[in-house]
Structure 1
Amino acid sequence: MDHAALFTLEVLRKTNRPPTDQETAIILQSMAPTNAKLKVVEAQISDAIVHIKALKSQIEQADINLQRLREEEAAILETFTDHRRVFSPFRNLPEDVLREICVTYVEAGLPTLSCHRSTPSPYILSQICRAMRHIALTTPTIWATMNVRIESLSFRHRGLAQGVYLIMARRASEWFERAGGLALASNYVYRGQERLIRNGHCIWA
């Protein structure tokens, strides 16, 4: 804004009168370069908004393509499942070696039958796969030792406790049946403090 325009604007600010035609022309003329620059900036802002929208659209399309590729990858990997199973090194291990692995695993920690949310090691072995289930259920050695931990409940839980104890008794019977004719080693631990048994079931019952 030039000196004349600044002077005119300053005079008008100190009065309440409307600007004359000459004053209006001076002020508008001084604003012309700024208005031109403003239009350029607004045009650039508009272009930037259009560009951002285009980028968002490209990102959305890229996300769609990525999801499609991941689904395609998952489908391809799924077709290899049987192939990987066939070539698994596990299949090349003799059954007697697998049985020794199972025995060693169970002997590493005393299997415990209780009402807590824990699965005894022989049951863990039987849940790995069909082949391991067969080996676990037909290897008497891993069922010949058991630690039974019994928790007592308060009077208001007596009905619940009875059902849980029946489950434990049935599991213990099945456990020792799988030991076949082997000598049995069992340890019983009774804990008197109250414990809450969720839903009245052992976690693996």
Structure 2
Amino acid sequence: MPRNPSHCSFESSVKHLLHTNVIPSAQECARIPDILVQPRKDLATIEEEIQRTQQKLDELKYRREVLATDIDAHLALLSPVRRLPDDILREIFVTSLASTHNAIIASREAPLLLCQVCSDWRKIAFTTPRLWSSLHVVVPTEPQLQDTIFSLAQQWLARSGILPLSLSIGISFAVLDEDHTAVFPFLELMLAAQTAGNPSNSQSPLRPIIWTGFRNGFTPYPLPLPPS
């Protein structure tokens, strides 16, 4: 609400000087501290009231959040997805995979994203080989992270069963310049995945792998493609 510049919210003998460039006299300057005694007390009272009101508002907001959370939790019990058979969920999970690139080791995308929803979904995802039959591995620049990513990739491929694989590797020139052998364990892991599910004396063909290549165009040696 706009205010009249000449208006003052409390009684003041110098209000005619407010919002002007007029210099107050010595007597007027001497009166100003006395004029402000009660207004300052009133201001302190208002600030205390605001603080009490804010505390009450914060309490109400907290209670609202708790109630809303509990209501949502109850409504979630009615969700139809809870009643879907595991086989249907598996099909839905597979359709959530990226269609333009191999799956990546990242919690923001399927299949790892699905594993974060609940323990039941994680169990279903872990036992759905199609979710793990594609993989793009980015070789980290930090050596200490390479072991972690290698271990995750190893677990990933183990969940793929004996399905054909689609694999790719991303490696920066910085990694190659620092240690070009850093990529070898990942390549060996992917090549070893060919024999998954095949006994050493088996005459069955090796597991097919679709090799979609390296970023930066670096391909130390080729990987086999599945028969057409």
Residue 192 (1) aligns with residue 181 (2): no
Q: Which residue number in structure 1 is paired with residue 185 of structure 2?
A: none
Greater displacement, 175-184 / 119-128:
119-128
Residue 65 (1) aligns with residue 65 (2): no
Residue 176 (1) aligns with residue 157 (2): yes
1:111 equivalent among 84, 98, 103: 103
Q: Which residue number in structure 1 is paired with residue 66 of structure 2?
A: 75
- Deviation (angstroms), 1:104: 1.7
Count of residues paired in the alignment = 147
Residue 86 (1) aligns with residue 77 (2): yes
Instruction: Tell me the percent identity.
Output: 23
SS of 1:76's equivalent in the other structure is helix
Q: Which residue number in structure 2 is paired with residue 23 of structure 1?
A: none
- Deviation (angstroms), 1:55: 1.8
Q: 1:83 to 1:43 in 2, by over 3 A?
A: same
AA aligned opposite 1:136: A
AA aligned opposite 1:181: I
1:134 equivalent among 98, 110, 123: 123
SS of 2:136's equivalent in the other structure is strand
Residue 148 (1) aligns with residue 141 (2): no
Structure 2 stretches of 5 or more lacking a match?
1-26, 179-228
- Deviation (angstroms), 1:56: 1.8
Q: Which residue number in structure 1 is paired with residue 199 of structure 2?
A: none
SS of 2:173's equivalent in the other structure is strand
AA aligned opposite 1:185: S
**1-structure distance, mates of 2:147, 2:53:** 58
Q: 1:139 to 1:54 in 2, by over 3 A?
A: same
AA aligned opposite 1:106: L
Q: Deviations over 1:24-66 (max 9, x none)?
A: xxxxxxxxxxx9xx99x98875443343233222212211211
AA aligned opposite 1:166: D
AA aligned opposite 2:152: R
2:90 equivalent among 80, 83, 99: 99
Q: 1:55 to 1:183 in 2, by over 3 A?
A: same
Which is greater in Rg? 1
- Deviation (angstroms), 1:126: 0.8
Q: 1:148 to 1:53 in 2, by over 3 A?
A: closer
Q: Bigger relative contact order, structure 1 or 2, given CA contacts below 8 A and separation 6+?
A: 1
SS of 1:133's equivalent in the other structure is helix
Once the two structures are superposed, the pairs formed by residues 156-171 of structure 1 within 5 Å of their partners are 161=143, 163-171=144-152
Q: 1:43 to 1:102 in 2, by over 3 A?
A: same
SS of 2:153's equivalent in the other structure is helix
**1-structure distance, mates of 2:69, 2:117:** 19
Q: What is the TM-score with the length of structure 2 in the denominator? A: 0.51
Q: 1:110 to 1:62 in 2, by over 3 A?
A: same
